[in-house]
Amino acid sequence: MEIKRKFLIWENGGEFANPSFYNKFGNLSLFAQRIRREGNTINQGYLEPTSLEGELLDIRNSIGFEPSEARLRSEVIRLDGKTEYTFTLKGSGDLSRKKHEENIIQEVFQRYWSKTLRKRISKNRLKLPFQAQNIEFDSYLDRNLLTTEVEFDSVEIADSFPEIGLDITNDSRYKNKNLAQ
């Protein structure tokens, strides 16, 4: 189960960060540069869950829920230069939804990556601690957009977490699968 809130920090010149953001992370422009400089590079591509085949279909058939989203991801880890590959299935929902993620080998990733054409996003991600949580800041490389995601152990903890930007958890326009182009 994934319990996650998502906040809009900056989009097309508009600042949505709250004072708690500025108190912890300072100047927004400098912080955005830090994300691009220090963050891991992520490429995500989305597949139709109903059109999976091969190894990916085997995974889908074994998870015990009907996925509404299927994602391939490569993440270049800035510290060591290695690339991690994952395949993720997610159920329906906003704040809380089912999630299954598996590491895959590069060859499996490459075999299916071409099927994600026109359904991709690229971003730099920087993970930082904030109020006993790890926050993932995403700076999208193909648009002027900065968001943050925070995962929680319970809905109660998620509900009590302070908003550090405009809460877009329930806004489907900002789901990564909908931002993909």
Rounded Cα gap, residues 156 and 179, in angstroms = 28
Domains of the chain by residue range? 2-179
pLDDT in the model for residue 116:
95
Separation CA 153–CA 141 (nearest Å) = 30
CA 36-40-46 angle, 5° bins: 105
Mean pLDDT of 42-54: 93
Establish how many alpha carbons lie within 13 A of residue 109's alpha carbon, considering only the half-sphere containing its beta carbon. 18
Confidence of residue 132 (pLDDT cuts 50, 70, 90): confident
DSSP string, 8-58: EEEETTEE---HHHHHHH--HHHHHHHHHHHSEEEEEEEE-GGG--HHHHH
- Among left, alpha and beta (phi > 0; psi -120 to 50; other), residue 68 is alpha
At residue 181, the pLDDT reads: 85
Query: Cβ(140)–Cβ(121) under 8 Å?
Result: yes
Run of H or E residues at 59: helix 54-61
pLDDT at 163: 92
Q: Which CATH architecture has domain 2-179?
A: Beta Barrel (2.40)
Instruction: Find the mean pLDDT for residues 98-118.
Output: 95
